[in-house]
Amino acid sequence: MQDTTTAIHVSGLYKQFGRGKQQVKAVQNLDFEVKAGEVYGFLGPNGAGKTTTIRMLLDLIRPTSGTAMLFGESVQRNPDILKRVGALVEGATFYPYLTGRKNLEVLARSGGYYDPKRIQSLIEQVGMTDHAYRRTKGYSTGMKQRMGLAATLLGNPDLIILDEPTNGLDPAGIQEMRTFIRELADKQGKTVFLSSHMLNEIEQVCDRVAIINRGKLVREGTVSDLLSEQAQLVVEASPLDKAQAILSPHWALHSNGGVHITVEAQREDIPTIIRKLVENDIKVYEVASQRQTLEEYFLAVTQGEDNNG
């Protein structure tokens, strides 16, 4: 029975390039699941294995071991499942001497889903109405990305895989793309798998995220859940040096040289921190909790993995 609730299911996905001293473990035993209808963020530093994973999802390269399933079907055993997928990976490429619209027409005809009205509608949706009849050799990177997104949607796919879709866009274009991606899920019921290094973009548009580093899954969850794992307390207390001495054996501290210290701790530790200060006759004037940004969280978990590695 075909799974209609899970768009992507990856289990034990492993990819190794080369042998011996030249061996590179690009992806190591990845396990994650993307529910149908959600926007799923895929994060990692350069070289973390993001694009390799995407290529395995699209059956462009074969895994060394493990499985990649799309809508309950093995990509390798049933490549026809890829008809339900649209992908924009490593930038959009077009025939340079054809106009943007003509490129879309060629792609639609070759894919067997030519529909002039849909082509026009997609051109309008991605904001390329004024440039559709220009040859693509004169397109900027941002224009190519916009038209590439239109090309990705030509076949009305259920799953859309986007690799750095805002590359080359100005701030206004990034905002438009963010809104468009959200509407694909919320209004059209599409599933979007979004790989990006722009953490602010991921934080605002994604339902759940996965963070990978050195080919391994580091964290997965909703953005709010991940950011609630680690709290930052800004504490104003006196004497400050005594407060630091009491807290430093248990939690990481940061001081700006002023009257405050920042304490990194789990949320459930917050009452304990305050109690320790009060029990040691330290005057606590102010305690403010600061929410981490996804960028701060990302740097903390990936750098921690590097140090542990």
Tokens standing for 300? 């903390």
Here the CATH number for the domain that contains residue 254 is 3.30.70.980
Specify the pLDDT at position 33. Answer: 95
Please indicate, yes or no, if residue 205 is contained in any of the structural domains. yes
> How does 80-100 read in b/e, with b if 16+ C-beta sit within 10 Å?
ebbebbbbbbeebebeeeebb
Q: Distance between CA 60 and CA 135 in Å, rounded?
A: 29
On whether both 12 and 27 belong to a single domain, the answer is: yes
Q: Distance between CA 14 and CA 66 in Å, rounded?
A: 6
Tell which of 191, 207, 226 closes a domain.
226
Tokens standing for 60? 């462009």
pLDDT at 307 over 60: no
Per residue in 217-244, pLDDT (tens digit) is: 988 988 777 776 666 778 888 899 899 9
On whether both 72 and 179 belong to a single domain, the answer is: yes
| Domain extent for 287 | 231-291
Number of domains in the chain: 2
Q: Distance between CA 8 and CA 68 in Å, rounded?
A: 7
The percentage of residues in the chain with a pLDDT greater than 70, rounded to a whole number, is 92
Please indicate, yes or no, if residue 221 is contained in any of the structural domains. yes
Here the CATH number for the domain that contains residue 45 is 3.40.50.300
Per residue in 131-176, pLDDT (tens digit) is: 999 999 999 888 998 999 999 999 999 999 998 888 778 888 888 8
Please indicate, yes or no, if residue 299 is contained in any of the structural domains. no
Q: Report yes or no: 149 and 173 within 8 Å, Cβ to Cβ.
A: no
Please indicate, yes or no, if residue 269 is contained in any of the structural domains. yes
Q: What pTM, to 2 d.p., does this model score?
A: 0.79
Please indicate, yes or no, if residue 309 is contained in any of the structural domains. no
By 3-state DSSP, what share of the chain in percent is helix, strand and coil, each rounded to 5?
40, 30, 30
Q: Report yes or no: 28 and 215 within 8 Å, Cβ to Cβ.
A: yes
